[in-house]
Structure 1
Amino acid sequence: MRLSGKVVVVTGGGSGIGRALVLQLLGKGAQVAAVDINEKALQETMALAQGSKQLSTHVANIAEQEAVEALPAEVVVRHGVVDALINNAGIIQPFVRLQDLGYEAIERVMRVNFYGTLYMTKAFLPHLLARPEAHIVNISSMGGFLPVPGQSLYGASKAAVKLLTEGLYAELLGTSVRVTVVFPGAVATGIAAHSGVEVASAGRRPAIQPLAPEEAARRILAGVERDRFRVLVGPDARLMDLLYRLAPAWATRFIRRQMGALLER
């Protein structure tokens, strides 16, 4: 789907990949409704967009069903229609084993990552189906297809997003709505801080440097404009996708070795 002239809703639009998506969509001539729980972060995104009349901001907690169900009407009042939805907002869990992860943290991760995506999709899907062409983009994670110790619950939430999106793709074949699932690898977004998670340095430089959010956003939007079914973002995501398909147990042990320092803190 060509993005110029389209109205696109982006969750997590106040920072990281979400902010980069908002700014690049505006640069492509789209109108954007940026959604985030953090009002100050949305104001910063608006300032970076130089107060663009093509951008609206909406403060909402996507983990709350009622708040999400009110969003489509707000967006339609401001922009007239909705052509695309990018479910980008997400959080990680504390870097601990599942046995040490409290239920409050478990429920928070699932509510934001899975139920937030589900609520947004169900709320906006009737509007998207009414358009001559439309698109849903759900951001999963490399951790959604590859087990990452210390992030097992996060991975489960993103694996749920993966299968939800793939099932939605199958259900919407023959309609005007295209569906894309995205698997980012390491991206320099500050997601740990936004999730309220402390991450101690492992004392060594990672083998693969994280992508800049702007580059991740560019690759995601390129995939959308090509109507790609799945988009792997970053060399680590592409490499581990291949290795996990060829030798899943070996790939799992490899990731365990990489994560060992964090787990043994």
Structure 2
Amino acid sequence: MKIEGKVIVVTGAGSGMGRELSLLLLSRGASVAGIDLKLDSLEETKALASEAGSKFLAVELNITDKEKVAQLPVMVKSHFGAVDGLINNAGIIQPFVAVNDLTDDLVKRVMDVNFYGTYYMTKAFLPEFLNRPEAHIVNISSMGGFIPFPKQTIYGASKAAVKIFTEGLYAELRNTNVNVTVVHPGAVNTNITQNSGLKLERPTNDKANKLAMPAPKAAEVILKGMERNKYRVKVGKDAALLDFLYRLYPAFATRFIGKMMEKNLPDM
């Protein structure tokens, strides 16, 4: 789907990759309904797009609130007149601890934001999309959605759920006007740790941080995949390499990731 002239909803638009996606969409002639928990962060995004004006609608909303999410399509349509696409970008990670040390409340929070938030948003907008000449749903999974990362097991499970949910949607909608894309980012330099409400007591490996893809570059890769109606988009060489390795040697790849995590998080 060509982006120019379209109305796209972006969750997590107040910072990180969601902000970069919103800015890039605006720069390419789209209108954006930005969704985030923090209205002031959305206003910062709007300010960065100096000529956005009425083309950026800031909506303060918790995507885990099913009833309020259900009202979003009417709000977006009343402002823009139509809605053509959805990028489910908002997500959080878990504390860097083993499953045995996680509380049920933490597990529920990760699943609510990452999976149910994506599901609620998709269910809310899909009826509108089916009535459009062309529409597109982009769901952000993770390389953690296809290969396990120790001490991010629940995060990975939530992103694996997003992966299969999105692939199932693709199969169900393949003979309609609605295109569907699942995205697997590798390491991207964003503030997801802070946005997840976590305080990482030990610094991650500096070299790993430098190798992480800048968020603006990741946004470019994602939107290119959207415009080409790609089924699956891998963002970063790390995601591509681990996808290949895991398909060939799952157990070896799992042990390899464990060793890498030990280096980046020394007290694992």
Length-normalised TM-score, structure 1: 0.97
Aligned to 1:259: 261
Q: Distance in 2 between the 1:109 and 1:52 partners?
A: 34
Give yes or no for the alignment of 1:234 onto 2:236: yes
Aligned to 1:29: 29
Post-superposition offset of 1:203: 5.1
Residue 208 to residue 239, structure 1, CA distance change in 2 (3 Å)? farther
Aligned to 2:259, the other structure's residue is in SS state helix
Aligned to 1:18: 18
Aligned to 1:174, the other structure's residue is in SS state coil
Asked if the contact 2:185–2:236 (Cα under 8 Å) also holds between the matched residues in 1, the reply is: yes
Task: Provide structure 2 residue ranges, at least 5 long, that are not aligned to the other structure.
Answer: none
Q: Distance in 1 between the 2:197 and 2:204 partners?
A: 19
Give yes or no for the alignment of 1:44 onto 2:47: no
Post-superposition offset of 1:207: 8.5
Q: Distance in 2 between the 1:220 and 1:92 partners?
A: 20
Asked if the contact 2:189–2:209 (Cα under 8 Å) also holds between the matched residues in 1, the reply is: no
Aligned to 1:112: 113
Aligned to 1:205, the other structure's residue is in SS state helix
Q: Give the fraction of aligned pairs with identical amino acids, expressed as a percent.
A: 55
Residue 187 to residue 179, structure 1, CA distance change in 2 (3 Å)? same
Q: Distance in 2 between the 1:260 and 1:104 partners?
A: 26
Report 1:138-217 matches (<5 A). Answer: 138-199=139-200, 200-202=202-204, 205-206=207-208, 209-217=211-219
Q: Distance in 2 between the 1:177 and 1:203 partners?
A: 41
Q: Distance in 1 between the 2:53 and 2:214 partners?
A: 24
Residue 64 to residue 249, structure 1, CA distance change in 2 (3 Å)? same
Q: Distance in 2 between the 1:118 and 1:224 partners?
A: 19
Post-superposition offset of 1:205: 2.1
Residue 15 to residue 204, structure 1, CA distance change in 2 (3 Å)? closer
Post-superposition offset of 1:52: 2.3
Larger CA deviation: 43-52 vs 238-247: 43-52
Aligned to 1:41, the other structure's residue is in SS state helix
Asked if the contact 1:145–1:159 (Cα under 8 Å) also holds between the matched residues in 2, the reply is: yes
Aligned to 2:127: 126
Report 1:61-76 matches (<5 A). Answer: 61-76=62-77
Asked if the contact 2:10–2:33 (Cα under 8 Å) also holds between the matched residues in 1, the reply is: yes
Aligned to 1:85: 86
Instruction: Provide Cα deviations, 1:41-82, integer angstroms capped at 9, x if missing partner.
Output: 101101111252211110100011011111111101001111
Asked if the contact 1:92–1:151 (Cα under 8 Å) also holds between the matched residues in 2, the reply is: yes
Q: Distance in 2 between the 1:135 and 1:206 partners?
A: 33
Residue 174 to residue 152, structure 1, CA distance change in 2 (3 Å)? same
Instruction: Provide Cα deviations, 1:66-112, integer angstroms capped at 9, x if missing partner.
Output: 11111111101001111000000000000000000111110100000
Aligned to 2:156, the other structure's residue is in SS state helix
Aligned length: 265
Larger CA deviation: 38-47 vs 85-94: 38-47
Aligned to 2:150, the other structure's residue is in SS state coil
Residue 32 to residue 127, structure 1, CA distance change in 2 (3 Å)? same
Aligned to 1:246: 248
Q: Distance in 1 between the 2:163 and 2:104 partners?
A: 23
Length-normalised TM-score, structure 2: 0.96
CA RMSD of aligned residues (A): 1.3
